[in-house]
């Protein structure tokens, strides 16, 4: 059983940057598909970014169009941690951000494709 704990959320202004972390325990996250999702008030949970191992220490990344070029997902396998670097934040990025993991998701851009979830960390972008 994999446990995921997110951290790093907070209140920032439009244009600011913020880095989220997701610490995994109970298994080696290096072999898992790792992803970030977010959920704004009254909205469904939506895909943000994912990182999939394609061989050795090589990973492919995938992003939602709304964050492409602004957000970056990365891993530190030695620390069993996944990060989401968020730049040029916008008011519409305000949401609770969730870390997700799955050993072999067949639908990595959907919430249903992940077996393990963190409790979420809140990001508020406001002037």
pLDDT digits (tens, 9 = 90+) for 51-107: 999 988 889 999 999 999 999 999 999 999 999 999 999 999 999 999 999 998 888
The three-point CA angle 74-69-99 to 5° equals 40
Residue 70 confidence (pLDDT): 98
> Which pLDDT belongs to residue 29?
82
Tell me what pLDDT residue 30 has: 84
What is d(CA 124, CA 45) in angstroms, rounded to the nearest whole number?
16
Please choose, from the candidates 103, 106, 121, the residue with its C-alpha nearest in 3D space to the C-alpha of residue 37: 121
pLDDT at 114 > cutoff 90: yes
Q: What is the pLDDT of residue 87?
A: 98
| SS3 of residue 5 by DSSP | strand
């Amino acid at each position: 059983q994999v446990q995921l704990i997110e951290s790093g959320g907070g209140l920032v202004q439009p244009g600011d940057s913020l880095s989220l972390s997701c610490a995994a325990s109970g298994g080696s996250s290096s072999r898992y598909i790792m992803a970030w999702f977010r959920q704004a008030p009254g909205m469904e949970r939506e895909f943000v970014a994912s990182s999939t191992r394609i061989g050795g220490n090589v990973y492919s990344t995938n992003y939602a169009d709304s964050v492409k070029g602004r957000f970056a997902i990365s891993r530190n396998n030695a620390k069993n941690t996944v990060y989401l670097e968020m730049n040029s934040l916008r008011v519409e990025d305000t949401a609770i951000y969730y870390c997700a993991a799955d050993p072999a998701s067949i639908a990595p851009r959907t919430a249903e494709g992940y077996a393990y979830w963190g409790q979420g960390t809140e990001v508020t972008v406001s002037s």
